[in-house]
A = this chain, B = another copy of it.
């Protein structure tokens, strides 16, 4: 294959989101999540579990005395915050926030060791123990997140204090890890450093960063197994001794190029795969690309919920096996869907095929934003497709599934991950090379980039996700191709350029419009956005005899608030006709879908648990579907995505 090293996402500064739907999310990040998270990092949220994050930095810097507290990866809370701050400052300058961030960076960097090492867990607990439990102690993970944060902050502000510190930390890691004699042959237990190093390489151009990323990717799972040897050498605990996945929990059961199924901890997996794609693209490594592609294909055709959720089991927050997609004992962590989006964008960079963007959109409008409440103040880790509140309370197997979003978490991964994803949303809308601008997501925005070496600007207005109209208006012309994704969920579309119909060629799901664009050129796309009733592959046992309702990129659900309890007794016909009503009074404005279903009404004596089966009786029942992402924003109740089929 031809590796296209030149197609890349646009810099966040190039894309400003101006979108009714997504603008509100970005405002929630800036106005609520970032300030709230800063309070959380500093243990000032009454009633919330303490983070200890900034306290650990103060202790590590010698400004306070005390013990390390919190999780081994607590430093990453700061890192995700500073990354989100970087994006926020890009979106909207805020001198006070920047000052706060500068002082936080001063503190963090003051804890750095002379050789560049910077992880408060080991600085406080004893540097002699560093790099002795890569498998479970997350110091390379913390390095990765802090590097991503440093780059975001540098790109937003031009200030490189944290970036320079991370380059020194990278030097320290490079001095300790690598193929050379005497260096450790280890790699991150929780991946992210691979992606981060590739992003650092893009900033520094320093081959060292690329090589280290490639080493981490390729060394993973090699025999003798580093994690096994480390466990033995240091007497570490191996939490997955009795599990089916063993070291594959860490995607380290075998070398990554030999892996064919998405296994183990779902977040780690997609972070690794993202790093693999980054390295494959940059080094034009076809074998590695094909390995990433195999893992992608396995995941999206065997192991992904219709919401873009991944990770079927709470045990190990993990993938299980092909077609095992339970809706009620599910994990589907918000972070995992975010990681899927990372992976999808990287695959798009290598080969712009619209299926990657389709999955990216599917995760974004469903399993990702379901992770936060509409007011941006409470969050789901777990994103179930079927909820019965009593089960969450009284059945241990579903105890991890919550019927209401929680305020914050001791392990604060999902909320800050949402903040940094939503803050950087602009970087997912496009990829571009010298003469082509790919439009992957139809989110309203204004973009300033170049086409064939000349400045090119575009304004996009989008009615997504409620309507399929998109208007692209050229602000500043140029010569080149606009590549417009044709969404997989749309059966027909109409395109006009300056009022005249156009029928461009479609390549890999993108309409390719090459031309000398001039200011004022106006392209209007009208995708039909019908309600589509979906079925799952028959091998998915949990969805056998069930249907899910979707419209455009949005997956719908039944909620008790609209439909009463006992949602499992409701049936839907695959040809059901829907009425679409946009309600701006409901759930911050949603398109509702109503239809006539039916509900089981066979009489039953309450004192009998089993009785001879009679012909079932059903009573017509009006049904109201709401977007899945908006569930659990009213009173606590049942929710169901996969409805029984009539």
Q: Which residues of A contact B (CB under 8 A)?
A: 243-244, 297, 300-302, 304, 306, 312-313, 315-316, 320-321, 324, 326, 329, 388, 390-391, 393-397, 399, 532-541, 544-545, 547-548, 566, 568-569, 574-575, 600, 602, 604, 606-616, 644-645
Contact = CB atoms under 8 A, between A and B. Distances in A.
A301 B397 contact: no
Nearest to A324: B395
A547 B304 CA distance: 29
A536 B396 contact: no
A320 B395 contact: yes
A394 B244 contact: yes
Given A301-B609, A534-B612, A535-B611, 8 more contacts: A244-B396, A312-B395, A326-B397, A535-B613, A545-B644, A548-B610, A574-B616, A575-B615
Contact of A397 (B313, B533, B547, B609): B313
Contact of A574 (B396, B569, B613): B613
A302 B390 CA distance: 15
A573 to B, nearest CB: 9
A381 to B, nearest CB: 17
Nearest to A572: B613
Nearest to A533: B613
B301 A390 contact: no
Contact of A610 (B313, B316, B534, B612): B534
A382 to B, nearest CB: 14
12 contacts: A244-B396, A301-B607, A302-B609, A313-B396, A313-B397, A315-B396, A320-B391, A321-B391, A329-B329, A537-B610, A544-B569, A574-B613
The 5 A-B pairs with the shortest beta carbon distances in the complex, nearest first, are A315-B396, A535-B613, A574-B613, A321-B394, A541-B568
A408 to B, nearest CB: 20
Contacts of A312: 395
B548 A568 contact: no
Most B Cβ at <10 Å: residue of A534, A566, A609? A609
A316 B538 contact: no
B396 A316 contact: yes
B540 A320 contact: no
Nearest to A322: B390
Contacts of A297: 607
Given A313-B395, A396-B313, A574-B614, A609 B540 contact: yes
Most B Cβ at <10 Å: residue of A533, A534, A545? A545
Contact of A609 (B300, B399, B610): B300
Contacts of A607: 297, 301
A608 to B, nearest CB: 7
A241 to B, nearest CB: 13
A612 B541 contact: no
A534 B297 CA distance: 41
A600 B538 contact: yes
A464 B367 CA distance: 54
B609 A538 contact: no
A396 B265 CA distance: 13
Contacts of A540: 609
Contacts of A394: 244, 320-321, 324
A316 to B, nearest CB: 7
A646 B539 CA distance: 18
Most B Cβ at <10 Å: residue of A304, A306, A611? A611
Contacts of A316: 396
A611 B534 contact: yes
Most B Cβ at <10 Å: residue of A569, A600, A610, A614? A610
B604 A329 contact: no
A244 B394 CA distance: 6
A347 to B, nearest CB: 16
A302 B388 CA distance: 17
A339 B324 CA distance: 34
Contacts of A616: 535, 574, 645
Contacts of A329: 329, 397
B324 A536 contact: no
Contact of A395 (B301, B321, B395, B609): B321
Contacts of A600: 538, 544
A569 B306 contact: no
A572 to B, nearest CB: 9
Contacts of A321: 390-391, 394-395
B243 A604 contact: no
Given A320-B395, A574-B615, A538 B602 contact: yes
Nearest to A329: B397
B315 A397 contact: yes
Contacts of A606: 301, 537
A105 to B, nearest CB: 39
A395 B397 CA distance: 12
Most B Cβ at <10 Å: residue of A320, A395, A532? A395
A611 B326 CA distance: 18
A131 B499 CA distance: 89
Most B Cβ at <10 Å: residue of A301, A397, A600, A644? A397
A613 B645 CA distance: 10
A397 B542 CA distance: 14
A631 B604 CA distance: 31
Contacts of A614: 535, 574
Contacts of A393: 244
A607 B244 CA distance: 26
Contact of A396 (B243, B388, B539): B243
A637 to B, nearest CB: 15
Nearest to A601: B538
Contacts of A396: 243-244, 313, 315-316
